[in-house]
């Protein structure tokens, strides 16, 4: 109500002020127009009288009076008076007789200048306009003729204007009060009352969907904040329930809260620094706006919850076009954008550095070297030089960040930074340095292709701990080290002694957060499409849907997957129109020719297969070849009958775990390549060899025809595995292991 009053008061004040100014101007210009008009008319009339009066001037007062009376009844003319040169009244109209005894001021002006003179005067309380002209006889001044015009009508006219303005203001004020009241009620009070009712319901635990304002509504920021608040509250409630459940069950589950406490204890007050090439948030220009994106990267998916839990610093390449505009003078910013749980420090690279280090050495060299996917690695000296220099640049940035941190924990991520552990450890021996290699490590013969394998191994062995997803990759790494550099391998405890520095090598299977989001918290924000909506969108007869989510990368087995779907429809035509496969494919590393070509190959293959089977708007493969965020993908995970993960080679593959984590309904079947790290944990997936198209087709059929009981039993077991081996546990184990390393006496490094 206060708001409406304030709004109304300011509107009334401004409108009154405006009306007053307009009326004043109008009065002024009308007044001056009417005054000018009156003066002109008085002048003309008086001068015409002058000609009549002059000849009869000497004829005496009776004659003069007759003339004066004759002219006395013109419009606005109040009267006429004739004076002798000394100001003595000779004759005056009857209605002036009592007031014209003394000549008005204009008499003197006229006499002195011997020409006509006029002016506004007051006679009694009457406003008059007096105009005087000289009267001559034989070229000498013989008298003065003065006409008096009534000017009262000018004031009356002005009062009318003021009165009209007052009525206007009154009418406008009433209208404003009415309109403001209606607008405030319908656009502010109504929606706010609805939102506050919703919040009340939320507090009582029975909130429905949040009332949505229309697009562009000024309450939208408030609504979306309220929705986030609702989401956080729902999640907090879930977490509390989960904690209670865990306490009850004496369970060993890791949650974000447990990690926060656990890691703080393990870090013993020291800070956590994470280094990766890919940043967790990218600022991208979108027209005039800056948009924040979360990139498609399993590594980002896995690390984000840890940084959120521990308020550390994440150092990464600022690779997007609006990144520089979003940092402070130290190239830092707090993220996630709305929650600001940790610091992101961006490192800038020139185009040449990015081309050589990232596209060249890392992704055309090491990536195909480590993935057995039949794409030849390319090693160029210039790329290697850039790789070395960029590793030095990141070392510099990391050393700046850890400068004031005692015994910092430094977690380096992936194949982009093989040289970084040594560079950091040499400058800061007190730092606990781990590197996690997110991709496979091949056998020694395959790795020997790399001309700089010794340098890479030496760089890596600067770390106190090297992590891989699975034991097989640890074994391959140790064998590679054994065969190529001077060192001692302690096979019994998986450690390397290289120049008297110990590095332990351990498997730590990475995972996802596994948040049990309640129906309540999911529905609140998103209003996400249901399975029925998704099926309807795919075709009127569609009964089954499969999903795939990948970066467009030749290691992901996308062509094989599509061939499997084609073979399945050939063998089982009863599924035509009934089964659709939705493939989300985020374009990746497209500056590399192999990737760019591969994108078009994937697209063309989907089109070819669709052309064979398409009926009306139904098609077997729906390919979305753009970046999609989790909110867009999750409804498909939840709606799908099956998820296909057909990597030709993959360190872990977090899509498989994301799918399982999303299936709160304990339904859905995972078809999983036997060449992924994930297959070792997700034993209830249907394992496939992606090169075996016949087997792929059969696996799709088996997944679609599996009994609901079997589906549930399998999904239940997989969910238990992912819940228990979630990313919080991964982080806790990794950090515990690093914390347990004895830096002062490395030869005593043992698990306590
Ligand atoms: C793999 C790598 C990550 C990388 C991700 C996305 O998962 O292990 O280090 O971030 O692919 O690739 P990109 O080159 O876009 O970062």
CA–CA gap between residue 487 and residue 481 (Å, rounded):
8
Q: Which atom of ligand 1 lies at the shortest distance from residue 296's CA?
A: 6
11 Cβ contact list (under 8 Å, min separation 6): 176, 180
pLDDT of residue 242: 58
Architecture of 529-725 per CATH?
A: 3-Layer(aba) Sandwich (3.40)
Q: Which atom of ligand 1 lies at the shortest distance from residue 416's CA?
A: 9
Nearest alpha carbon to residue 557 among 399, 304, 372, 392: 372
345 Cβ contact list (under 8 Å, min separation 6): 313, 314, 315, 316, 330, 331, 332, 397, 401
Q: Which atom of ligand 1 lies at the shortest distance from residue 651's CA?
A: 8
Q: Ligand 1 centre from 548 Cα, in Å?
A: 17
Nearest CA to ligand 1 atom 6: 297
CA–CA gap between residue 524 and residue 518 (Å, rounded):
10
Is there an atom of ligand 1 within 6 Å of 439 CB?
yes
Q: Ligand 1 centre from 362 Cα, in Å?
A: 10
Q: Ligand 1 centre from 589 Cα, in Å?
A: 9
Q: Ligand 1 centre from 321 Cα, in Å?
A: 19
Do the domains spanning 2-156 and 271-349+389-507 agree at the CATH topology level? no
Is there an atom of ligand 1 within 6 Å of 297 CB?
yes
Nearest CA to ligand 1 atom 16: 278
280 Cβ contact list (under 8 Å, min separation 6): 294, 295, 300, 303, 304, 307, 314, 316, 335, 344
pLDDT digits over 402-412, tens only?
A: 999 999 999 99
Report yes or no: 486 and 495 within 8 Å, Cβ to Cβ.
Answer: no
Please report how many Cα atoms fall inside a 13 Å half-sphere around the Cα of residue 427, on the Cβ side: 16
CA–CA gap between residue 615 and residue 57 (Å, rounded):
117
pLDDT of residue 246: 56
Q: Which atom of ligand 1 lies at the shortest distance from residue 438's CA?
A: 8
**271-349+389-507 to CATH, choices 3.40.50.2000, 3.30.300.130, 3.30.300.20, 3.40.1410.10:** 3.40.50.2000
List the chain domain ranges: 2-156, 271-349+389-507, 529-725
Which of 299, 364, 510, 552 maximizes ligand 1 atoms within 8 Å of its Cβ, making it the mutation to test the pocket?
A: 299
Find how far residue 351's CA is from the centre of its chain. 27
Q: Which atom of ligand 1 lies at the shortest distance from residue 276's CA?
A: 9
Report yes or no: 462 and 424 within 8 Å, Cβ to Cβ.
Answer: yes
Q: Ligand 1 centre from 23 Cα, in Å?
A: 72
Q: Ligand 1 centre from 446 Cα, in Å?
A: 21
pLDDT of residue 9: 84
pLDDT of residue 48: 85
pLDDT of residue 22: 86
pLDDT digits over 167-207, tens only?
A: 888 888 888 888 888 887 887 788 888 888 888 887 777 77
Nearest CA to ligand 1 atom 4: 297
Q: What is the 3-state secondary structure (H, E, C) of 298-337?
A: HHHHHHHHHHHHHCCEEEEECCCCCCHHHCCCCCEEEECC
Which of 296, 438, 549, 676 maximizes ligand 1 atoms within 8 Å of its Cβ, making it the mutation to test the pocket?
A: 438
Nearest CA to ligand 1 atom 5: 297
Q: Ligand 1 centre from 687 Cα, in Å?
A: 24
Which of 298, 596, 627 maximizes ligand 1 atoms within 8 Å of its Cβ, making it the mutation to test the pocket?
A: 298
Nearest alpha carbon to residue 437 among 370, 381, 526: 370
Is there an atom of ligand 1 within 6 Å of 414 CB?
yes
CA–CA gap between residue 77 and residue 37 (Å, rounded):
13
Q: Ligand 1 centre from 471 Cα, in Å?
A: 21
CA–CA gap between residue 491 and residue 475 (Å, rounded):
9
CA–CA gap between residue 315 and residue 344 (Å, rounded):
6
DSSP sequence for 725-748 = T-HHHHHHHHHHHHHH--SSSGGG
CA–CA gap between residue 259 and residue 518 (Å, rounded):
21
Q: Is the pTM of this model over 0.75?
A: no
172 Cβ contact list (under 8 Å, min separation 6): 15, 19
Please give the torsion angle defined by the CA atoms of residues 412, 418, 424 and 430, in that order, rounded to the nearest 10 degrees. Answer: 60
CA–CA gap between residue 660 and residue 668 (Å, rounded):
8
CA–CA gap between residue 725 and residue 514 (Å, rounded):
9
pLDDT of residue 744: 58
Q: Which CATH superfamily, name and number, covers 2-156? A: PAS domain (3.30.450.20)
End-to-end CA distance of the chain: 67
| Segments of the chain scoring below 70 in pLDDT | 1, 3, 72-73, 214-216, 235, 238-251, 516-526, 744-752
pLDDT of residue 16: 83
Nearest CA to ligand 1 atom 12: 297
- In eight-state DSSP terms, residue 85 is T
pLDDT of residue 751: 40
> Which pairing describes strands 126-137 and 117-123: parallel, antiparallel, or unpaired?
antiparallel
Burial of 142 (0-12, 13-18, 19+ CB in 10 A): middle
């Amino acid at each position: 109500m206060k708001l409406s009053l304030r709004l109304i008061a300011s509107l009334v004040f401004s409108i009154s002020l405006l009306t007053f100014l307009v009326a004043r101007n109008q009065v002024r210009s009308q007044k001056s127009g009417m005054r000018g008009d009156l003066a002109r008319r008085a002048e003309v009339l008086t001068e015409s009288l002058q000609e009549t009066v002059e000849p009869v001037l000497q004829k005496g007062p009776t004659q003069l009076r007759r003339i004066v009376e004759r002219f006395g009844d013109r419009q606005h003319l109040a009267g006429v008076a004739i004076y002798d040169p000394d100001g003595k009244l000779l004759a005056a109209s009857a209605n002036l007789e009592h007031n014209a005894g003394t000549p008005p001021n204009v008499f003197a002006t006229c006499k002195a200048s011997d020409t006509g003179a006029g002016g506004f005067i007051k006679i009694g309380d009457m406003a008059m306009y007096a105009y005087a002209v000289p009267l001559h006889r034989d070229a000498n001044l013989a008298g003065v003729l003065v006409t008096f015009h009534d000017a009262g009508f000018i004031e009356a006219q002005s009062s009318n204007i003021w009165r009209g303005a007052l009525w206007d203001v009154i009418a406008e004020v009433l209208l404003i009060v009415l309109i403001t009241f209606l607008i405030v009620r319908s656009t502010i009070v109504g929606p706010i009352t609805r939102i506050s009712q919703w919040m009340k319901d939320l507090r009582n635990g029975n909130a429905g969907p949040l009332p949505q304002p229309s697009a562009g509504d000024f309450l939208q920021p408030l609504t979306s904040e309220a929705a986030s608040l609702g989401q956080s509250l729902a999640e907090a409630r879930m977490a509390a329930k989960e904690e209670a459940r865990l306490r009850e069950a004496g369970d060993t589950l890791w949650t974000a809260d447990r990690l926060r406490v656990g890691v703080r204890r393990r870090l013993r007050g020291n800070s956590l620094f994470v280094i990766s090439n890919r940043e967790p948030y990218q600022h991208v220009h979108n027209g005039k706006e800056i948009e924040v994106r979360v990139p498609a990267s399993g590594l980002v998916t896995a690390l984000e919850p840890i940084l959120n839990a521990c308020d550390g610093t994440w150092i990464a390449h600022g690779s997007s076009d609006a990144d520089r505009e979003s940092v402070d003078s130290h190239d830092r910013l707090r993220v996630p954008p709305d929650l600001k749980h940790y610091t992101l420090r961006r490192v800038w690279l020139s185009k040449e550095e990015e081309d050589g280090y990232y596209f060249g050495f890392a992704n055309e060299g090491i990536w195909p070297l480590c993935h057995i996917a039949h794409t030849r690695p390319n090693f160029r000296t210039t790329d290697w030089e850039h790789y070395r220099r960029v590793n030095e640049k990141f070392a510099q940035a990391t050393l700046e960040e850890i400068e004031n941190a005692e015994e910092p924990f430094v977690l380096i991520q992936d194949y982009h930074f093989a040289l970084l552990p040594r560079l950091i450890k040499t400058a800061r021996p007190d730092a606990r340095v781990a590197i996690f290699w997110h991709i496979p490590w091949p056998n020694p013969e395959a790795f020997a292709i790399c001309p700089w394998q010794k340098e890479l191994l030496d760089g890596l062995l600067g770390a106190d701990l090297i992590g891989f997803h699975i034991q097989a990759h640890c074994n391959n790494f140790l064998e590679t080290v054994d065969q190529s550099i001077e060192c001692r391998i302690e096979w019994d405890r998986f450690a390397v002694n290289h120049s008297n520095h110990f590095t332990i090598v351990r498997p730590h299977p990475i995972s996802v957060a596994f948040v049990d989001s309640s129906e309540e918290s999911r529905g609140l924000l998103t209003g996400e499409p249901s399975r029925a909506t998704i099926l309807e969108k795919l075709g009127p007869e569609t009964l089954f849907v499969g999903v795939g989510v990948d970066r467009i990368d030749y290691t992901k087995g996308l062509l094989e997957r599509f061939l499997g779907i084609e073979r399945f429809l050939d063998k089982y035509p009863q599924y035509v129109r009934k089964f659709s496969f939705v493939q989300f494919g985020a374009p990746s590393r497209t500056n590399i020719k192999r990737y760019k070509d591969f994108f078009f190959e994937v697209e063309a293959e989907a089109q070819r297969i669709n052309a064979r089977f398409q009926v009306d708007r139904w098609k077997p493969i729906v390919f979305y070849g753009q970046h999609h965020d989790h909110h867009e993908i999750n409804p498909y995970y939840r709606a799908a009958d099956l998820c296909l993960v057909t990597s030709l080679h993959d360190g872990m593959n977090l899509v498989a775990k994301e799918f399982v984590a999303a299936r709160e309904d304990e339904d859905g079947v995972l078809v999983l390549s036997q060449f992924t790290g994930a297959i070792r944990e997700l034993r209830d997936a249907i394992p496939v060899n992606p090169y075996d198209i016949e087997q792929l087709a059969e696996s799709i059929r088996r997944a679609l025809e599996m009994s609901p009981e079997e589906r549930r039993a399998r999904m239940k077991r997989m969910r238990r595995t992912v819940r228990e081996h979630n990313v919080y546990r991964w982080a806790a184990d990794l950090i515990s292991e690093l914390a347990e390393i004895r830096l002062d006496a490395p030869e005593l490094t043992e698990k306590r």
